[in-house]
Structure 1
């Protein structure tokens, strides 16, 4: 096995968010070991840092319990088997699974049995749902890199070694976002009332969420004709989102932009947003939001059975309170969504203290997540490698 002073690091990162996290980790590893070699499954952020992608991270992109998952399952199992065999035949210094727990934990367990040190980056949300997964984590990972401050103590109770490394988004998003600059970038006026609509980045999310979101926008525009509505769309979903806007009769009333989600969140007064990582981004931008989600009824029933907390949105989970409203599944009617958004928009003039209180809560949240993630993660990896050598 290679010496730890020139490590060979096998990694698997799933989807865009995992690619971003892995890219930051590679920054820390390259700072510590300029000649580090990394390979496995990754995306463009990782490849920009010299990562050798044997498969692309987008291969791991699936959604819930949908038919898409079933269709991809056999292909994913084949990729995982081939990767496992390749790594066991030529062991790396360490394996790091970045997010994608359904794919990575099983792989980590097999590699660990073969004597390869394993790290899982991003603790699975055992505090929110699927608490039974803690046994799998303990069997699979020698160490877990955590992005939320309460997770290491939780894992320690179950005999799992972990390090809090901060949330990388807290470093990317400024503590005091420049709303005026973001509006200028998007061609919006300083005094516009701006709503950001984020219906998700996956195909299934757009299918189930975009329609009620856009119907809610149509309701809002009836009473607020001057409202500026901006929709950041990932390139692969833009055509579907544009088609949905046409179906809802608001195509000429909304501005759909490719990417630029951070600029849109910085520019907005409020966001109507699908539950997921984007809600944390909105919180770090200190923006009021209405969190919603809608999925196939079967997927929803399965998810509800395993839910451990009263909150679904990350801002509410991290604050331990319903600081922003959540309208989920059957409760996510266009009328209810529009009413919840209208309350935030009106609060700027009628309840400014409500806005200020929320901004204060989100600033405190931001501060708690702000750490030197690349360095802390690389330091933890270095310690594991040193222990292996010893």
Structure 2
């Protein structure tokens, strides 16, 4: 298995649970993180090695190392010939590795369909060459892949099983030392170093503006442990040192506790939707990466909740639009709406509850069933 970043590590961990329940003597190795390690996975490299972002020089500098890792994995797996290879997300890394393994008759499964419905539709041919089977986390994806002759199974989104249908807001607040009556804003500037660099200062500057308008607002930032020093430094640079509650990890607790979240576009936005929280989605990246991404975009939405609902149910402020002033105004709109008892918050909660039911499946079982069929066909 190869899983990239924290989200891939979580997904892979859940699949490992299903596989180990069916095959107690399972041996799994490759690239993984702490969730996989807790399940007996042998990580030859840590998953954060694959945490790269965009198209700019920040990625180019890492290419030699990433190519070397992929070459070593390919040689190892071709030599050992595992019963199955499972690439979890990280398509830029995994599809190339899967293609080489599939050509050598090693069964390959790709977990999480690349977002060919959002951008980079040209990846369809790469997926067909790389994967014997694709495990899809969104219900519309298998039919789309079938049009291109790619076998796929909808397994639900694992996060829909991890996150409760009715989050316990009061318990989460007690865990974080927050009062029931507090106005709480969760700030999630991303889990990658490059995301934090481009977004955290904007988010913290927006928090300063919000606190100036409403001094009682509490801000909580769940920080990826290895990025804590960067987050602390950016908070200080924005004059927010000591005015943000920065916690190690605990993103789910923070999302359960908050009234609204200011959040980087990515998997975390779906987590926020499953917690039924209103949000403001933002993103900013290197200008060259942004130009390239815009040209590949196939839909008007970027945030996963909006893509899945086929509507702008929550605001998106991207690139130059993601100014501290605009971010602060959008978050304060939600807080004011909640304070006034408007029906918009209730409507958002209803929409996100329906989405939660649609995504809730026995992912570990369905994924393991599909993997077993791939192995038997081989």
Does TM, scored on the shorter chain, surpass 0.5? Answer: yes
Offset, 1:351: 4.7
Task: Please name the residue that 2:76 is paired with.
Answer: 86
1:162 and 2:162 correspond: no
Q: Equivalent of 2:167, from 173, 177, 180? A: 177
Task: Please name the residue that 1:134 is paired with.
Answer: 124
1:123 and 2:113 correspond: yes
Q: Equivalent of 2:85, from 73, 92, 95? A: 95
Task: Please name the residue that 1:197 is paired with.
Answer: 187
1:269 and 2:252 correspond: no
Task: Please name the residue that 2:136 is paired with.
Answer: 146
Give the Cα–Cα distance (whole angstroms) in 1 for the partners of residues 334 and 77 of structure 2.
52
Task: Please name the residue that 1:325 is paired with.
Answer: 315
Give the Cα–Cα distance (whole angstroms) in 1 for the partners of residues 90 and 107 of structure 2.
18
Task: Please name the residue that 1:282 is paired with.
Answer: 272
Query: Unaligned stretches of 5+ in structure 1?
Result: 1-10
Task: Please name the residue that 1:246 is paired with.
Answer: 236
Cα-to-partner distance string for 1:305-348 (whole Å, 9 max, x where unaligned): 10110000000001100000000001111111111111100111
Q: Equivalent of 1:210, from 192, 200, 204? A: 200
Task: Please name the residue that 1:232 is paired with.
Answer: 222
Task: Please name the residue that 1:362 is paired with.
Answer: 352
The two structures, once aligned, show a CA RMSD in angstroms of 1.0
Q: Equivalent of 1:315, from 301, 305, 314? A: 305
Cα-to-partner distance string for 1:2-47 (whole Å, 9 max, x where unaligned): xxxxxxxxx1111111111111111111111111111222222212
Cα-to-partner distance string for 1:107-146 (whole Å, 9 max, x where unaligned): 1111111111111000000011100001100111010000
Give the Cα–Cα distance (whole angstroms) in 1 for the partners of residues 232 and 43 of structure 2.
33
Give the Cα–Cα distance (whole angstroms) in 1 for the partners of residues 30 and 370 of structure 2.
20
Q: Equivalent of 1:108, from 98, 104, 122? A: 98
Give the Cα–Cα distance (whole angstroms) in 1 for the partners of residues 340 and 234 of structure 2.
33
Q: How many residues get paired?
A: 378
Give the Cα–Cα distance (whole angstroms) in 2 for the partners of residues 192 and 44 of structure 1.
33
Cα-to-partner distance string for 1:244-290 (whole Å, 9 max, x where unaligned): 11111122322111111111111110011110111011000000000
Q: SS state of the match for residue 127, structure 1?
A: coil
Offset, 1:55: 2.1
Task: Please name the residue that 1:349 is paired with.
Answer: 339
Task: Please name the residue that 1:379 is paired with.
Answer: 369
Give the Cα–Cα distance (whole angstroms) in 1 for the partners of residues 202 and 37 of structure 2.
37
Task: Please name the residue that 1:27 is paired with.
Answer: 17
Give the Cα–Cα distance (whole angstroms) in 1 for the partners of residues 324 and 77 of structure 2.
50
Query: Unaligned stretches of 5+ in structure 2?
Result: none
Cα-to-partner distance string for 1:38-71 (whole Å, 9 max, x where unaligned): 1222222212212222222222121112333112
Cα-to-partner distance string for 1:278-303 (whole Å, 9 max, x where unaligned): 10110000000000001111110011
Q: SS state of the match for residue 281, structure 2?
A: strand
Give the Cα–Cα distance (whole angstroms) in 1 for the partners of residues 117 and 22 of structure 2.
33
Give the Cα–Cα distance (whole angstroms) in 2 for the partners of residues 252 and 46 of structure 1.
34
Give the Cα–Cα distance (whole angstroms) in 2 for the partners of residues 19 and 260 of structure 1.
16
Give the Cα–Cα distance (whole angstroms) in 2 for the partners of residues 33 and 192 of structure 1.
48
Offset, 1:226: 0.6
Give the Cα–Cα distance (whole angstroms) in 2 for the partners of residues 91 and 216 of structure 1.
52
Cα-to-partner distance string for 1:169-224 (whole Å, 9 max, x where unaligned): 11111000011111111001100111111111211111111111111111111110
Give the Cα–Cα distance (whole angstroms) in 2 for the partners of residues 174 and 217 of structure 1.
28
Give the Cα–Cα distance (whole angstroms) in 2 for the partners of residues 260 and 231 of structure 1.
9
1:16 and 2:6 correspond: yes
Task: Please name the residue that 1:299 is paired with.
Answer: 289
Give the Cα–Cα distance (whole angstroms) in 1 for the partners of residues 242 and 32 of structure 2.
38
